A and B are shown apart, each in its own frame.
Chain A
């Protein structure tokens, strides 16, 4: 049984101006100990997926399809069961560490509170909980006496570590990290990524890592999924997808951050013209076609489903032909 399974997930925000489809049919599976990266830009629905998994979306949001955590439908859980799953099953680290911590309480007591809420499940009393706070801080590379600091006394990187410690407080099986390193310096980002890799290796933690930076995902995750306008447009093994993306949008993301030393990108930054579409007013056909440099006439009418590129590598593009149907140079000459 998979740890997390999303089956044809659709999320629609209800607003006075009409329905906004944020996620339009996403399926994904994460096995225990597996790391999956979800890439995409503002408004593509990736953070909505994070919120949907733990039922953290605003009231009235329409969620269709199913989300199974350890085989159990998250949307059929009782409030008590859901609360238990939220911390000890799956936990989330959000972007913007400054705002997620209570500014007037010491960070140690905030972590302790999370542990005490689940003390029955964890079997810890208060003094054991306090010891655990120290262990968690050390685990994320902070000094134990940092427990007595207030959030404003810490740097951005330190606060991000506190949030990771908080997320790990109840030993979850799955960590959902939504842009956890986006506001951080390169060196602190490297520290946080190394920490996540350690946790995955030591504890078998499964990770759903969400960011717009495909090169970060490639360095951390086994599998990548690229989202555009609420859909997965490409998915596959990290290395293969990053080195040989088949969807034009996957290609744009993989080239967005240059490889230093690559002559083609020297003095030649490449981006995509246009902007991510407004989820409330999606283009017809393939939602990417207005920004696509290889779009053909039918792209404005036809929204192609994911097609097989190779084993485990799929892309939703009219230009992708299944491997066995492809006419290669070899077969032409032979």
Chain B
């Protein structure tokens, strides 16, 4: 499978609170997304996952590194961006906030068709998109306003509005986090069927590992602006290698088979990324003394670990893995 999206050493920075501080929100990310796959980008608030997907659409300026989409480098030219923003669509966590309350559902879906001049009869395109998003019969929904339908249906409207443009990539930022529990599975099933039926790719940003288990082919775990572990979803969830991935997995409420590793402290600050391994101040391997016993503590404190392949399509950025593997 060829790569649909390819990020190389992408950095996104913001000015910090004072003149000298820089917030390194995305701090060197390499990532490839194949056509027809679902990638779950997992991490805590502030890890840079949302900034990263926004940068793909040119919504955040990239400080350095490159983004390639469908074999072409993404440049900042207006025409290129406009084309990109048809082929890459985004849906958000809060469907209510993303819809104009004074626009009917028909208008919400038709807007993109008009902006991008999609060929075809508008009403047919809208009807087809709504019914493919599970809003059937479409005619019943067209003249309604967002507040007249449920939260799950609003998310379907957003998905219809994205899919009507026949994108190649859908970026989904916490697509089910604000939905009721019973609706969650329905929306995830819809997303997975879009991939299986149309061959679209999805990058889903989430802190929900259950979502990854439900629909993702691959998982990338982000911590403080960097991918620390990546691989096939089943492999990563069955056998997490990075201590951060292990900790995340151990606190999933259903995971009573594992001993909980609750990391103390708040999600760290991307304006002050720790030296050495950026995870070392919260790392259970360092805290337990295991890193010292294994003689890697100096590296943990002093050397920023690179993402190293440990198996085909599997990579981890941890001194421990490298030590054990070698």
Contact = CB atoms under 8 A, between A and B. Distances in A.
Nearest to B183: A271
Interface string A39-55: 00110000000000000
B129 to A, nearest CB: 20
Interface in B167-220: 180-189, 192, 207-210, 213-215
Contacts of B251: 186-187, 189-190
Contacts of B260: 190, 194
B267 A212 contact: no
B103 interface: no
B51 interface: no
B103 to A, nearest CB: 21
A257 B211 CA distance: 8
A98 B213 CA distance: 31
Nearest to B206: A186
Nearest to B46: A155
B262 A187 contact: yes
A266 B212 CA distance: 9
Contacts of A276: 150, 180, 182
A308 to B, nearest CB: 25
Contacts, number: 129
Contact of A41 (B182, B264, B267): B182
Contacts of A252: 182
Nearest to A220: B253
B182 A215 contact: no
Contacts of A186: 44, 207-209, 248, 251-252
A255 B182 CA distance: 9
A270 B267 contact: no
Interface string A259-294: 111000111111111011000000000000001000
Question: In this complex, which of B184, B187, B255 has the most chain A Cβ atoms within 10 angstroms of its Cβ?
Answer: B184
A100 interface: no
A273 B186 contact: yes
Given A185-B207, A275-B150, A219 B185 contact: no
A258 B255 CA distance: 10
Interface in B225-253: 234, 237-238, 247-249, 251-253
B45 interface: yes
A265 B209 CA distance: 13
Contacts of B189: 268-271
A41 B181 contact: yes
Contacts of B234: 266
Given A185-B207, A194-B262, A257-B253, A266 B183 contact: no
Contacts of B267: 155, 157, 185, 187-188
Contacts of A215: 252-254
B182 A256 contact: yes
A41 B254 contact: no
Nearest to B269: A155
Interface size on B, as a range, is 35 or more
Contacts of A155: 45-46, 266-267
Contact of A260 (B151, B209, B262): B209
A269 B262 contact: no
A187 B248 contact: yes
Interface in A161-186: 185-186
Nearest to A217: B253
Given A185-B45, A256-B181, A256-B185, A267 B214 contact: yes
Given A187-B247, A275-B153, A265 B184 contact: no
A268 B188 CA distance: 9
Contacts of A193: 253
A253 B181 contact: yes
B180 A265 contact: no
A216 interface: yes
Given A155-B45, A256-B181, A260-B249, A187 B263 contact: yes
Interface string B11-39: 00000000000000000000000000000
Nearest to B180: A41
A271 B255 CA distance: 21
Contacts of A255: 185
Contacts of B46: 155
A265 B248 contact: no
Interface in A83-113: none
Question: In this complex, which of B183, B207, B234 has the most chain A Cβ atoms within 10 angstroms of its Cβ?
Answer: B183
B72 interface: no
Interface string B42-75: 0011100000000000000000000000000000
A158 interface: yes
A234 interface: no
A267 B192 contact: yes
A5 interface: no
Interface in A11-28: none
21 contacts: A41-B180, A41-B182, A141-B264, A185-B267, A187-B247, A190-B260, A194-B260, A212-B180, A214-B181, A215-B254, A253-B182, A255-B185, A256-B182, A257-B184, A258-B210, A258-B213, A260-B237, A260-B255, A267-B192, A271-B184, A275-B183
Given A158-B266, A260-B209, A272-B186, 13 more contacts: A41-B180, A155-B266, A185-B267, A188-B267, A189-B251, A194-B260, A215-B252, A218-B253, A219-B256, A256-B181, A258-B210, A266-B214, A270-B189
Interface of B: 44-46, 150-153, 180-189, 192, 207-210, 213-215, 234, 237-238, 247-249, 251-256, 260, 262-264, 266-267
